[in-house]
């Protein structure tokens, strides 16, 4: 049996990197079932180190914390995460903030293109309790994760999920469309951790990272209801390119920043 403080110190040293101590704490909370705050406040817990040891070993070998715990929080929802989906990022919460700010009336019907874990759709459904939503993904494995998350968060009655290629073949119209497509250029620098553990199909979009926007933007006018809003995540250097692409459509576009002040999404309005 070891004290909390000794375990955390040793684990953080082995994990290394910018988030070593935080990672060590999150994993210990997961291993013991004791919330992180409580572990730190009351350090008298005596802990059986075996289970924790296995997790620290995986983290030290470069596996994402979310894959070890199997969950990640997004917009206060505790979501299941597997290697089949992109791990929800805090940056993507910007899309929900922007949608909340720009929508003049509550959306009735919401579309999430490339839903992955379901994070954006489920967050939106918690904000608009009368809305229903559809999540589209090209990956069956991702749809299974999204469906499990809808059930886990109590939102399954208002969420549907469907295999698809962006908006192709959809005949409904939506008041709000959310989308976090792949947008990394194939030659772009990307951390080894992301490259090795997250699905390439959710990350890469051709040489300049814009391939999927080229597919999605022309579909939007046919998917948006009157006075509908689309909020699209972008890479922080893609603002000018997206604004230029949007200018070629009949939609009005505005650029919005994340908490770090970097361009993070484009909002597009139909007429
Ligand atoms: N924001 C993610 C990253 O930088 C990429 C997500 C995406 O391509 N949609 O790792």
Ordered mean pLDDT values, 10 residues apiece, the chain (271 residues): 83 95 95 89 76 95 97 97 98 98 95 98 98 98 98 98 97 97 96 96 97 97 95 97 93 96 96 64
Per-residue confidence (pLDDT) for residue 47, from 0 to 100: 75
By most ligand atoms within 8 Å of CB, the mutation choice from 184, 198, 264 for ligand 1 is: 184
Burial class (CB in 10 A: 0-12, 13-18, 19+), 72: buried
For residue 36, report the phi and psi dihedrals to the nearest 5 degrees: -55, -45
Domain ranges of the chain: 2-61, 71-269
**pLDDT recorded at residue 50:** 87
Cα 91 to ligand 1 centre (Å) = 9
State residue 3's pLDDT score: 81
The response to whether residue 89 sits with its C-beta less than 6 Å from ligand 1 reads: yes
pLDDT at 271: 64
For the Cβ of 180 lying below 6 angstroms from any atom of ligand 1, the answer is yes
71 forms bridges with which residues in the sheet?
A: 80
Q: How far is CA 217 from CA 2, 52, 161, 208, 240, in A?
A: 56, 46, 21, 16, 15
**If you measure from the C-alpha of residue 182 to the centroid of ligand 1, how many angstroms do you get, rounded to a whole number?**
7
| pTM of the predicted model as reported, rounded to 2 decimal places | 0.95
What is the second-level CATH architecture of the domain 71-269?
A: 3-Layer(aba) Sandwich (3.40)
- What was the pLDDT predicted at 2? 65
Nearest to 243, CA basis, from 261, 217, 219, 208:
217
Give the Cα separation of 131 and 219 in Å (integer): 22
Shortest-distance Cα residue to atom 10 of ligand 1: 194
CA of 1 to the centre of ligand 1 (A): 40
The answer to whether the CB of 81 is under 6 A from ligand 1 is no
CATH fit for domain 2-61, picks 1.10.8.10, 3.90.1150.10, 3.30.450.40, 2.140.10.10: 1.10.8.10
Q: How far apart are CA 235 and CA 21, in angstroms?
A: 28
The pLDDT, as a whole number, for residue 6 is: 87
- Equal fold, 2-61 vs 71-269: no
Whether ligand 1 lies within 6 angstroms of the CB of 114 is answered as: no
């Amino acid at each position: 049996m070891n004290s909390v403080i000794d375990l955390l110190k040793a684990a953080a040293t082995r994990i290394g990197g910018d988030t070593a101590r935080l990672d060590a704490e999150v994993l210990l909370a997961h291993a013991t079932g004791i919330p992180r705050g409580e572990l730190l406040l009351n350090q008298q817990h005596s802990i059986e180190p075996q289970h924790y040891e296995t997790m620290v070993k995986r983290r030290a070998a470069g596996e994402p914390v979310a894959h070890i715990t199997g969950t990640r929080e997004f917009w206060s929802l505790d979501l299941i995460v597997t290697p089949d989906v992109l791990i929800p990022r805090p940056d993507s919460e910007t899309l929900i903030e922007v949608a909340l700010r720009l929508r003049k009336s509550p959306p009735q019907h919401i579309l999430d293109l490339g839903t992955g874990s379901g994070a954006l759709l489920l967050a939106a459904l918690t904000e608009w309790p009368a809305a229903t939503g559809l999540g589209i993904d090209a990956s069956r494995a991702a749809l299974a994760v999204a469906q499990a998350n809808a059930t886990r968060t109590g939102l399954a009655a208002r969420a549907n999920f469907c295999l698809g290629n962006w908006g192709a073949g959809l005949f409904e119209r939506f008041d709000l469309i959310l989308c976090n497509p792949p947008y990394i250029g194939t030659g772009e620098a990307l951390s080894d951790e992301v490259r090795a553990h997250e699905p390439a199909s959710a990350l890469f979009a051709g040489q300049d990272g814009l391939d999927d926007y080229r597919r999605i933007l022309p579909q939007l006018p046919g998917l948006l209801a009157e006075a509908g809003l689309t909020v699209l995540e972008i890479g922080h250097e893609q603002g000018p390119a997206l604004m230029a692409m949007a200018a070629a459509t009949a939609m009005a576009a505005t650029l919005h920043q994340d908490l770090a002040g970097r361009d993070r999404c484009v909002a597009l309005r139909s007429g």
